[in-house]
Amino acid sequence: MTTHPADGMPASATENGSAVIRVLSYNIRSMRDDNAALARVIRACAPDLVLIQEAPRFFRWRKAAARLAAATDLVVLGGGATAAGPMLLCSLRATVERTEDVLLPLTPGLHRRGFATAVVRIGGARIGVLSAHLSLQEAERYEQAGALLDRLAGMGVDHAIAGGDLNERPGGRGFTRLSAGLRDCWEVAPWGGEFTSTPGDPHQRIDAIFTTPGVEVLACGVPLPLTRPDDLLSATDHLPVLAALRVPTR
C-alpha cells in the first residue's frame, strides 16, 4: 500500500484481491463561495469518488456541475437537481454500472431531500455509492436514515459506501441509526481533523462517511494535512471528509 510521505493518507491503488480508493464527502453550498478554492481542495484530496451535498439545483445547474468536474479532473456521475442536491463525481478510474437519483417523501413546509446513488467498479471492486443530505428536522432525519439503510441494502452489492451532511452530531437518533447498521469511518480509523462545521470555528462533526462491514477503513477525517487552510475557509461553509478504504474485489 502506498502512502503520501507527508500526510500518511493511503493513496489509491489496486492490490491483490482488493482496491484502495479515496472517497470525499463535501457540502459545497451550491457553489456560492470561492469556486477556485473549492476546486483546489477537491484536487488536493485526489479522490476516486466525491459525494457532494448542496450541488447547484436551479438555473443552469448542469453547466455549474460540469465546470466543477472539469476544474477537478473528475466526471459527473449523477445527481444534482434531480436528487434534490446530492451529487456524485468520479475519477476515470471508475467504471459506471448504473446510477439512480432518489427523491424522498416531502414533508410539508420542509425542503425536499434525496439521494444520489450509483454502482461502480474500481480496480476490480464492485461498490455501491450514496450521497445524502439529511433533514434539519429530527423525526424526518431519523426516517431518512432508515431509508438510506434500506437503499444500500437494495443495491445488490456486497460492499457499499454512504456519506453526506447528516445535520446531526454522533449520538443523535439518525446518526446512531446509521452507525448501528454501518461503520462510521472516523470512529474506525481517525486521521486529520474531526469537526466539519464550521470552517472558521470547527466544533461539531455533522458530516460523515460510512461503509458496509466488509470494507476496510484505512483512514478518515477532515483532510487538514492535504489542504491549504485559507482554501478550506473560503471554499464553502463545511469542511470535507476524506476516507481511504480497501474494498475486496471478490
What is the set of domains in the chain, with CATH numbers?
A: 13-248 (3.60.10.10)
Query: What is the arithmetic mean of pLDDT over 29-40?
Result: 98
Per-residue pLDDT at 15: 86
The pLDDT tens digits of the residues spanning 51-94 come to: 999 999 999 999 999 999 999 999 999 999 999 999 999 999 99
Which of helix, strand or coil describes residue 219? strand
The pLDDT tens digits of the residues spanning 132-184 come to: 999 999 999 999 999 999 999 999 999 999 999 999 999 999 999 999 999 99
Per-residue pLDDT at 16: 85
The pLDDT tens digits of the residues spanning 138-148 come to: 999 999 999 99
**DSSP per-residue string spanning 27-63:** E-GGG-S-HHHHHHHHHHH--SEEEEES---STTHHH
**244 has which bridge partners?**
22, 219
Cα distances (Å, whole numbers) of residue 214 to 69, 181, 194:
30, 12, 23
H/E element holding 140?
Answer: helix 138-153
- Say if CB 217 and CB 186 are below 8 A apart: no
